[in-house]
Amino acid sequence: MTAGNEHSLLKTFVKRFCQDRIAVAGLSFVVLLVLIAIYAPLLANGQPLMVLSGGKLSFPAWRAFFAPDSPEMIIERFFNYLALFLPLTGLISLIFNKKRVLLCGIAGVVLLIPFLTVKPVIDSQNWHEQVQEIRAKGGTVVTALVAYGPFETKAAPYQPSSKEHWLGTDHAGRDVFARMVFGARVSVIVGLAATAISMIIGTLVGLLAGYCGGRTDLFVMRLVEIVICFPQFLLLLILMSIMLDYGSRQSVLLVIAVIGLFNWTGLCRLVRGEVLKQRSMTYISAAECLGVPRWKILLKHLLPNVSGPIIVIFSFEFASAILVESSLSFLGFGVQDPVSSWGELISQAEPSPMIYWRLILWPGLAIFLSVCAFNFVGEGVRKAIN
């Protein structure tokens, strides 16, 4: 296929996708969710972003930006890195016409240095009182949209919505809005990473089973049937409880691994079926006659021709991973406190759901809209590809 034909197909795909208003609305919400996850420290942060007092300029929040004091430090650093890397690469692409990829790569490597060298330090200062004092003396303080972090217990438990706490507080007196914003990071990274793992495993195994056939296909299909026989959610609960009993503290990474390693069977069967259709076509026979290595046939000939269903399934599996993570966290087997998660927020209303309905409404609405948005995008992609 020539470059011109590829460009024409892509243009047709985009045109068809944009004609589906529901899919476009879903994609808009997905982009908004990702931006909220990336720039969460600018939306909710207990430390000021900038302080100008007595002629001195300081940026208290930036040390924690490069070295966040969080149980899930890897996840936090990943999103904070993206928050700087994305606008930096965009700026480089606008300024330079040549060697953009090289310059973006160099910038990305340089940007990694502070994230790898800066060590986390516990900030014990009461910034809420200091901000008032600095402003009273005529100083300038720039804070986040909400001046509370996801771990701060500055208020009374279960406070209703107010000007200070937009969505109220949880059972420990932490700001619900801040935990909702940082909970978006958990949903996005679990959906992205877990789905990517399951997509890679399912695609490779399906390609191998469909192309090789014979005993390989028989073994893979029996393995898939064994995995499918187990109730998936129950299996996830058992594995998560075992891992947590062994003292695992990186709960987000654990959830990603468990969901990704046990959610590939459906895609594997789909890819195998598509490969069985393509295997009998003349272009595969021609490649085999020319002595093309098997891995090239699988990755360069078969994979592009079965990629349509894989792209569609990715959106649906992304939504499924968010739902599974929220369910695990709600039951106490997913993301562990104090890390914020939408499912964990809903579980805090369990003592009295009618009284603490805010802890059900806002995270429940976020889960509902996120799952619907990804499903709408997946359906729009399916229609555009067809």
Residue 27 lies in a domain: no
pLDDT at 328 over 90: no
Measured distance CA(284)–CA(224) in Å, rounded: 26
Residue 52 lies in a domain: no
Express as a percent the part of the chain with pLDDT over 70: 97
Which letter does DSSP use for residue 302 in this model? I
Express as a percent the part of the chain with pLDDT over 90: 25
Sheet strands side by side (includes 140-142): 56-58, 50-53, 140-142
pLDDT at 223 over 70: yes
SS3 at position 51:
strand
In this structure, what token pair is assigned to residue 43?
Answer: 């939306």
Worst-scoring range by mean pLDDT, 27-36, 42-51, 115-124? 115-124
Residue 330 lies in a domain: yes
| Domain CATH for 312 | 1.10.3720.10
**What's the pLDDT score for residue 1?**
52
Q: Identify the band that residue 64 occupies on the pLDDT scale cut at 50, 70 and 90.
A: confident
Reduced 3-state DSSP string for 163-178: CCCCCCECCCCCEHHH
Residue 244 lies in a domain: yes
Residue 63 lies in a domain: no
Q: Identify the band that residue 39 occupies on the pLDDT scale cut at 50, 70 and 90.
A: very high
CB 328 within 8 A of CB 237: yes
**Half-sphere exposure in the Cβ direction for 327 (13 Å, CA):** 14
With 0-12 / 13-18 / 19 or more C-beta atoms within 10 angstroms meaning exposed / middle / buried, residue 44 is buried
Residue 20 lies in a domain: no
- Look at residues 178, 189, 182 and name the one whose alpha carbon lies nearest to residue 75: 189
Residues 6+ apart with CB under 8 A from 245: none
Domain that holds residue 202: 177-385
Measured distance CA(10)–CA(16) in Å, rounded: 10
3-state helix, strand, coil in the chain (%, to 5): 70, 5, 25
Q: Identify the band that residue 232 occupies on the pLDDT scale cut at 50, 70 and 90.
A: confident
pLDDT in tens, 172-218: 889 999 999 999 999 999 999 999 999 999 999 988 888 888 888 88
Q: Identify the band that residue 4 occupies on the pLDDT scale cut at 50, 70 and 90.
A: low
**What's the pLDDT score for residue 6?**
58
**What's the pLDDT score for residue 180?**
93
Residue 245 lies in a domain: yes
CB 251 within 8 A of CB 289: no
Pick the residue with more confidence: 245 or 75? 75
Residue 169 lies in a domain: no
pLDDT at 251 over 80: no
Pairing of strands 140-142, 56-58: unpaired
**What's the pLDDT score for residue 375?**
93
| Whole-number average pLDDT of the chain | 86
Measured distance CA(58)–CA(51) in Å, rounded: 5
Please tell me the total count of domains within the chain.
Answer: 1
Residues 6+ apart with CB under 8 A from 380: 17, 20, 22, 23, 24, 26, 27
pLDDT in tens, 82-131: 999 999 999 988 888 888 889 889 999 999 998 888 887 777 777 888 88
Q: Identify the band that residue 71 occupies on the pLDDT scale cut at 50, 70 and 90.
A: confident
What average pLDDT does range 256-277 have in this prediction? 86
pLDDT at 363 over 90: yes
Residue 306: count other Cβ atoms within 10 Å of its Cβ: 20
**What's the pLDDT score for residue 189?**
93
Measured distance CA(9)–CA(15) in Å, rounded: 10
Q: Identify the band that residue 33 occupies on the pLDDT scale cut at 50, 70 and 90.
A: very high
Measured distance CA(91)–CA(107) in Å, rounded: 11
